[in-house]
Amino acid sequence: MDPNITKFMSALNGKTSLHNLALRSGLKYDQAMRMMFELEKEKYIEVSKEVSKQHRLGEFGRIYSKEQFPEELIANALKKEMPLEEFKKELGQKSGFVLGYGRQNGYLSFVLGGEQKIKLIKKIDSEKYKKYRNLLRKLKDGQDLEKEEVEFLKTYPKLIDTFDKTEYYITKKKDFAPGKEVESPKEITVLKKDHLKQDTSKLKFKKYDVVSDVQPYYGGKKQPYLEFLDLIKQKLVELGFQEMEAPLITPEFYNFDVLYQPQNHPARTWTDTYNLDTKHKGEFDEKIAKLVKEAHEKGGVSGSKGWGGSWSIDVARKLMPAAHGTAGSARKMASGAKEGKYFALARVYRPDVVDATHLCEFNQLDGMVIGDKNSFRTLLDLLATFARDVAGAEEMMFLPDYYPFTEPSVQLSAKHPKLGWVEFGGAGIARPEITETLGIKGRVLIWGLGIDRLAMFNLGIKDIRDLFSSNLDLLRKQKVNTKI
């Protein structure tokens, strides 16, 4: 006789949840569930099932149960009006995010004229955010929340997640006499070699229940987004692309100057890019730097008039986290790239306000094709292939755009079923101020696509942050593609 049946029935006292019964009996939950279904089948017990809504900390709830909300940081640092540098000093590393968040949500704005200042334009109720945090800590400690407390937490995005919890309740219908088998004593539960030597038609094998609910089983698998990136890389290599180097830290020379982006361009300021506070300087070929300087100031060998003004090699040597994957293309072209197809999966950094389609640290798929027969039509065909075959987009559109390093330039967007039109990235034909300065023969097609957004389409995700989530429930349920 299975001793677990005796343990199970001995622990049953009145209407008992399966969870509590497993604890009382010392059985594992799956063992207790198996006993429950066997005893129910023999009518020793009655089983009822209840589904209830439960709550746990959401993505932001896990953060703000320990830290201050951005609204609190703004309220504490900015009483009315103050110099921007003082605000940045007050908040330290969080200043870029808080400033962008505050502007996007209408809490603060810049003061025009004179010294750069910011001012508070919408009152912030600090007590409201303290209440949020107290309730989050209450939930984290395993305490039940009142209905109105749950509704209050739902007024701020992603503080709590709601999920269905199924619980079984068991009631004894008739007494179970120890020593009496629930199953026939002649039932065979394990098939052995000796059984195969007999007439199996005369043997009674235990029947297995393959219909009743059981605990879900989640097998091991690769993180879905990492699997997607590996498939992208494999596909590009199969198509004849060579992978380029794309370092996380790069001199401004490769990020901007080689790409013919003037040193006074607004994209080079703190509002659009990050800089490193370091005494170290970037290294590059100074012969190429001299050619780039001539292209910026006077047009160099390209026949262009250049941007004019004075180009500084000291500015070009400054180190920064790469702001776009095209810095890898610039590095490749400056090293003497030959006719061919190249790509890089690059990690890049920009001080964007984080939302469903934006991150301040993200990935780009950067590509470059060098060849005499390239045309703008070739570029559009490549972009359409990525949108259709990689992202699975059914609707896409091309829009004219401007980038300092390409002409003509184009933006690729596709329609997400829940988010509407989403920009994938930009592309164009490299300007002669770049290619002729670097001695490249042939036309160069360049593109930089938000691979994270392509993955959103491919994996059926509506929030880009979920690609990097550590939420086990989400990861377990996320599908994994085996091909692109």
Tens of pLDDT, residues 236-295:
888 889 999 999 999 999 999 999 999 888 878 776 788 888 889 999 999 999 999 999
Structural tokens at position 75 = 């309220």
The answer to whether 330 and 315 have CB atoms below 8 angstroms apart is: no
Q: What is the pLDDT of residue 176?
A: 65
Domain of 364, CATH number, reads 3.30.930.10
Q: What is the pLDDT of residue 483?
A: 64
Asked if residue 66 and residue 47 are part of one domain, the reply reads no
Low-confidence ranges of the chain (pLDDT < 70): 1-2, 113-114, 176-186, 209, 212-215, 271, 481-484
Establish if 286 belongs to a structural domain: yes
Asked if residue 22 and residue 109 are part of one domain, the reply reads no
Asked if residue 294 and residue 254 are part of one domain, the reply reads yes
Structural tokens at position 147 = 């209905």
Establish if 381 belongs to a structural domain: yes
Establish if 155 belongs to a structural domain: no
Domain that includes residue 15, residue range? 3-56+164-205
Q: What is the pLDDT of residue 184?
A: 45
The answer to whether 323 and 277 have CB atoms below 8 angstroms apart is: no
Domain of 90, CATH number, reads 1.10.10
Q: What is the pLDDT of residue 185?
A: 46
Asked if residue 82 and residue 228 are part of one domain, the reply reads no
**Proportion of the chain in helix, strand, coil states, percent, rounded to 5:** 40, 25, 40
Asked if residue 196 and residue 296 are part of one domain, the reply reads no
Establish if 256 belongs to a structural domain: yes
- Residue 237's identity, in one-letter code, is V
The rounded distance, in Å, linking the Cα atoms of 313 and 329 is 20
pTM above 0.85, yes or no: no
The rounded distance, in Å, linking the Cα atoms of 339 and 39 is 74
Q: What is the pLDDT of residue 178?
A: 55
Asked if residue 99 and residue 14 are part of one domain, the reply reads no
Write the DSSP symbol of residue 358: B
Element (H, E) at 36: helix 29-41
Q: Which residues contact 40 (CB under 8 A, 6 or more apart)?
A: 46, 47
Q: Residue 145, class by beta-carbon neighbours within 10 Å (0-12 exposed, 13-18 middle, 19+ buried)?
A: middle
Establish if 248 belongs to a structural domain: yes
Q: How many residues does the chain have?
A: 484
Q: Which residue has the tokens 């089948």?
A: 41
* CA separation, residue 252 to residues 55, 257, 449 (Å): 47, 7, 21
Establish if 150 belongs to a structural domain: no
Asked if residue 337 and residue 189 are part of one domain, the reply reads no
Structural tokens at position 450 = 């938000």
Alpha carbon of residue 43 to chain centroid: 50
Asked if residue 284 and residue 191 are part of one domain, the reply reads no
Asked if residue 115 and residue 100 are part of one domain, the reply reads yes
Domain of 171, CATH number, reads 1.10.10.10
Q: What is the pLDDT of residue 1?
A: 54
- Of the residues 127, 156, 180, which one is the last residue of a structural domain? 127
